Amino acid sequence: MEHQLNHLEELLVQSAADLSISIPHTAIPLFMRYLAELNKWNQVINLTAIQDAKEVIIKHFVDSLAGIKVIDIKQESEILDVGAGAGFPAIPLKIAWPHLSIELLEPSEKKGSFLRFVIGALDIRQARVATMKLENYAGRSGVERLFDYIVVRAFKVDALGAMLESLLKDGGKVILFRAAKVERNFKLASLALIQEVEYELPSGYGHRTLSVFSRS
């Protein structure tokens, strides 16, 4: 078991390094605990179709960390993860860079329970979970919180651009984690596409793109 754990730790560190991402040494045990809890809970509720540990590390953890290619981690930024699911990409980003503040928006109560458990088990501070749909979250009376970044992964937001925009601070950005660049006719309300960063996941796990939108 210890040998396997060391192998997975090395895989995480090296795979991140392949994308020029350096993971703090103190974060590695937290990623391994996250991986263990994800596997345990996945036996009971459907958190992710990917269950192989290597695939989880590269396709979920490392892909999430790639967000720093377009997120300024030098700032104490506030991040909203829309359709957070099992916590990707916000929780890996938070584990690696604890000064970030995250809110996880996930309509499923079961997945919300997992997210709350993980936050507590890993002793993650400045992290909140909201179990509601984006429509209800954005439509609340009074603006409770605005964000520097809104991250979206594996969640379709084409028709929800106005809601996302309403939750952004001035100068804030929406980041879509995608398999390919956005189509020419892709619209996200009045938000303008300002940047797209492409990269290859290690071990041949696929092409990925970060599409960044901001107010025009």
For residue 96, pLDDT beyond 60: yes
Q: Both tokens of residue 105?
A: 């928006």
For residue 9, pLDDT beyond 80: yes
Q: Please give the distance of CA 28 from its chain centroid, rounded to a whole number.
A: 17
Start-to-end Cα distance in the chain: 52
For residue 113, pLDDT beyond 80: yes
The confidence score (pLDDT) of residue 109 equals 97
Domains with residue ranges and CATH for the chain: 2-215 (3.40.50.150)
* Mean pLDDT estimate for the chain: 93
For residue 181, pLDDT beyond 60: yes
Task: Write the pLDDT tens digit of every residue in 34-66.
Answer: 999 999 999 999 999 998 999 999 999 999 999
The confidence score (pLDDT) of residue 216 equals 64
The confidence score (pLDDT) of residue 156 equals 83
Catalogue the E-assigned strands of 106-190. Answer: 127-130, 147-153, 168-178
Task: Write the pLDDT tens digit of every residue in 118-130.
Answer: 999 999 999 999 9
The confidence score (pLDDT) of residue 4 equals 61
For residue 173, pLDDT beyond 70: yes
- The mean per-residue pLDDT over the stretch 77-82 comes to 97
Task: Write the pLDDT tens digit of every residue in 17-31.
Answer: 999 999 999 999 999
Q: Report the alpha-carbon distance of residue 16 to residue 193 in Å, rounded.
A: 26
Q: Sheet of 101-105: strands edge to edge?
A: 127-130, 101-105, 78-82, 147-153, 168-178, 207-215, 191-200
pTM of the model: 0.94
- At residue 116 the predicted structure's pLDDT band, cuts being 50, 70 and 90, is very high
Q: What percent of the chain has pLDDT over 90?
A: 85
